[in-house]
Structure 1
């Protein structure tokens, strides 16, 4: 499982974002989610802003995942067959906040710029249809939503079928961790956290992460709300370190069994 965090340019200074990314990098985080269409300005100003952001993130070892939609494509001069403006920005993955819903999704996924395309996990039919139309499965990833208001998030049993579906296809699934730090924020003026499932809203981050590891169908765990603090990064690292040790021990046991046969 990889680790990620989220930043919100419309609410945070470049200095705050850089400091947060540096802290995350210390603890093995290598994926950053952000919203591209939330930044105002001309096309040139938006490209320049994200070029600087992605340069900073790449220097620290991050992949950059940017939230977009088809309306923003029109605004920025992109299309399903031309993602050059996002390549210029340095974006590694585009999260489609609303798909085309037709054969253009396959064209988008197979883009020559080599940008990964991410869909909401609820878009099973969209992804299946794109694959049926020749989309390269290796260029597809999925991510669950996060839910800022209490009692609005689904329960685990509701997301499990989605996880299983994409896991069988070999398509990565991402899920959001909820920082318990008081005063954290997301893209909206609500501070009830940003979990993917309601069961995670009020439990320590290490418990959330252990649950995700136990699911065995989650490939990326991201802090949805910002800013998680160093104590939470420490807690995440301890869980991940123990998970690696457990896996290594299992591998050694398997090898020992094989040698004795």
Structure 2
């Protein structure tokens, strides 16, 4: 919100969770999705090529998985590679089997780096194709060769080992270019719960940015809101706790609000924030000895 009624479009980031079916029971998955959807999470990142079984067994598994996700109002982004395409009898020109499974988004672990990426992105099934944000060259190439930007998104990587994740400025530089290209970007944050997991048995979190690895999940979200150049924020590891979901839900409710315009204030009504606005919530830590009057001034 600027002065004299100047406004900036407000777009809440999509919130998501990650699931790794080869390590989780369907009961655990359903309980987790029930909780996550209750707190406004609407996307699932999952690894498809790590699920064992025949083509038919994998198909049946993800058909049930997607049905469950859709029941909770969540979209499924399946991490794939060309070997998985071959196993499932799919190709860049025929991804009908993913439509039959109910997959909403295919995240390509590695792109083709040629016209096949364009064919895949321009599929007739309205399945969004998501490329790794670090493959910015493939993103540029696809757009230059006719890829439909409305059916195209990107997602940064996560990093399981401490001290291996990206620095914030490297991620931001990519996000700024993606924004100019009109391509959405997603990042991963970490749950700080004990014994979380990713696609491997690692327990040091799964963030995109190294500085986020050990800070509270809600602070990671507040930081991304303050940075302001990401479209999706996804828990990289599982399972996050209900306390973390509650804290993030509170942040989102504080950050994205609709403020009515003050009536009878003439030009002041335009100067003051109103309408759909985005705010960066701060956590206030009070010193010992703060009086009730001082608390009233700060909070009321």
- Counterpart among 204, 208, 230 of residue 218 in structure 1: 230
Name the structure 2 match of 1:164: 176
What SS does structure 1 have at the residue aligned with 2:114? coil
Distance 1:228 1:133 in 2: 40
What SS does structure 1 have at the residue aligned with 2:22? coil
What SS does structure 1 have at the residue aligned with 2:187? strand
What SS does structure 1 have at the residue aligned with 2:23? coil
TM-score by structure 1 length? 0.95
Name the structure 2 match of 1:128: 140
**Offset from partner CA, 1:17-59 (integer Å, 9 cap, x none):** 0000000011010000101111111111111000000000001
TM-score by structure 2 length? 0.83
After superposition, the Cα gap between the structure-2 partners of 1:187 and 1:255, relative to the gap in structure 1 and judged at 3 Å, is farther
More helix by share: 1
Is residue 2:121 matched to residue 1:106?
no
TM-fit CA distance, 1:127: 1.0
Distance 1:258 1:111 in 2: 47
Name the structure 2 match of 1:257: 270
Name the structure 2 match of 1:56: 68
| Structure 2 gaps, min length 5 | 1-12, 273-300
Alpha-carbon RMSD across the aligned residues, in angstroms, is 1.6
Question: 1:1-261 residue pairs with structure 2 within 5 A?
Answer: 1-245=13-257, 248-249=258-259, 252=261, 256-257=269-270
Task: Say which one has the larger Rg.
Answer: 2
After superposition, the Cα gap between the structure-2 partners of 1:149 and 1:137, relative to the gap in structure 1 and judged at 3 Å, is same
**Offset from partner CA, 1:181-238 (integer Å, 9 cap, x none):** 0111101111000010000001011110011111211111111100000000000001
* Paired residues, number: 256
Distance 1:255 1:235 in 2: 34
After superposition, the Cα gap between the structure-2 partners of 1:231 and 1:71, relative to the gap in structure 1 and judged at 3 Å, is same
What SS does structure 2 have at the residue aligned with 1:5? strand
Distance 2:95 2:182 in 1: 25
